[in-house]
Structure formats: C-alpha cells, structure tokens
Amino acid sequence: MPYTAEHKQQSRLRILESAVRCFLQQGYERTGISEIMQDAGLTHGAFYAHFSSKGELYIEAMTHAAKNGRFTAHLKNGKKGSAWFQGVLEGYLNLDHVEGDESPCPLAFLVTDIATRESDVKQTYTRLYKGMNRYISRQAMDDSKRTKDDIYAVTAMMIGGVAVSRAINDPKLAKRLLHSCKQTAEKILTSD
C-alpha cells in the first residue's frame, strides 16, 4: 500500500532535497534529472509525476534552499543589536558555508547561474534577495544611523564574499577574504 498522498509528499520532499544539493553544488546545467532521482532513491521516469519540468524544479528547489538555508537558520539566534549582526555574519561569511556541506545559501551559490535564465527564475531570485534585505533591515533600521545604502552594500558583500571564496583555489585567501568581509560588514552595521 504505497501510493498514498503522504507517500507522494515524502517522495517529493526527497527529490526536492536532492535537487537542492545537486543544483547548489554543481549548478543547473551540470545536474541531470537522473542524478537527482537516483540521489533520491528513485528512477528518472518517476520525476514527472512530481514536477512538470526541470525548470519548475529549479524554482522550487531555490525557494526550499532559502527557507532551510544558512541565512535563515542564523536569523533567529536569540540575540539583539550588534550581537545579532555578529551572529548572522559569522554564520554566513564562513568557510564551512563555502564548502557547502550544510545547507548553503542559494543567493550566493547560484548568482551567476540565475542571470542567464528565464524571467520566472529571476523573479524567484529577486523575491528571495529582497527577503534577505528585509530581514537585515528590520534589525538595522532601529538605529537611525543606518541607511538603506548600508543594507544593500552589506548583502552584496555577503553574497559576493561567499561566491568569490567558492570560486578561488586558495583556501587561505578564501578564509582571509571572508574575514575581511565580516569585519567590514560589522563596521558598516554598527559604527557611529
């Protein structure tokens, strides 16, 4: 008695999580449907009972990755003010994040990939990016010294810092530049 609604939901979730892993690690084009399905413990024929196309899966996977990703996870760190920023930045601008083992941020891992894609994919990225800014803004704007410019600059630096770290071949430099971004972002968000 498989094939219940619940069974289907479970399969769908497994596919989604495999897709997140593959897409974020290898990018959209290099990831095949067969690979995702195999990783989810199914065969590729079953795919189309859950999603209408690879493109649709990409959108869903991106959303799922953001919801369960590193950025979101560090948002509720129980702290306030500058300690809160420190927690978020520390969790994001981090070599473990760059290595990608544990729920990386799709905004940083897929930037370039997204730019060349159809508008519904870019739409999703835009929404998630706005969300990221909103979360930081919410905390920062209590402080009248912080401007919207500060927020945009910080998120660009976070995404850029992680993306560049991932692209380079020099772990020492990667660590160094992440640290520099963290320090500078902290200064921007907490200076007088």
Could you count the other beta carbons within 10 Å of the beta carbon of residue 138? Answer: 11
Does residue 117 touch DNA according to CB under 7 A?
no
Task: Pick the binder of a second copy from 10, 29, 83, 102 (CB under 8 A).
Answer: 29
The residues, any chain, with a CB within 8 Å of residue 161's CB and separated by 6 or more, are: 93, 177, 178, 180, 181
Does residue 26 touch DNA according to CB under 7 A?
no
Task: Pick the binder of a second copy from 9, 10, 26, 68 (CB under 8 A).
Answer: 26
Triad 156, 80, 148: Cα angle to 5°: 35
Picked from DNA, a second copy, none, the partner binding residue 78 (CB below 5 to 8 A depending on kind) is none
Whole-number minimum distance, CB 69 to DNA, in Å? 23
State which residue, 102 or 170, has the beta carbon closest to a second copy.
Answer: 170
Does residue 148 touch a second copy according to CB under 8 A?
yes
C-alpha to C-alpha distance for 153 and 169, rounded to whole angstroms = 25
C-alpha to C-alpha distance for 139 and 83, rounded to whole angstroms = 11
Q: Which window, 50-58, 62-70, 114-122, 134-142, contacts a second copy (CB under 8 A)?
A: 114-122
Does residue 54 touch a second copy according to CB under 8 A?
no
Task: Pick the binder of a second copy from 110, 136, 140, 189 (CB under 8 A).
Answer: 110
Does residue 141 touch a second copy according to CB under 8 A?
no
Task: Pick the binder of a second copy from 19, 66, 177, 189 (CB under 8 A).
Answer: 177
Does residue 64 touch DNA according to CB under 7 A?
no
C-alpha to C-alpha distance for 108 and 130, rounded to whole angstroms = 14
Whole-number minimum distance, CB 120 to DNA, in Å? 13
C-alpha to C-alpha distance for 166 and 47, rounded to whole angstroms = 30
State which residue, 34 or 123, has the beta carbon closest to a second copy.
Answer: 123
Taking each helix axis as running N to C, give the angle between helix 119-140 and helix 54-67, from 0 to 180 degrees, rounded to the nearest 10: 10
* In 55-139, beta strands by DSSP E: none
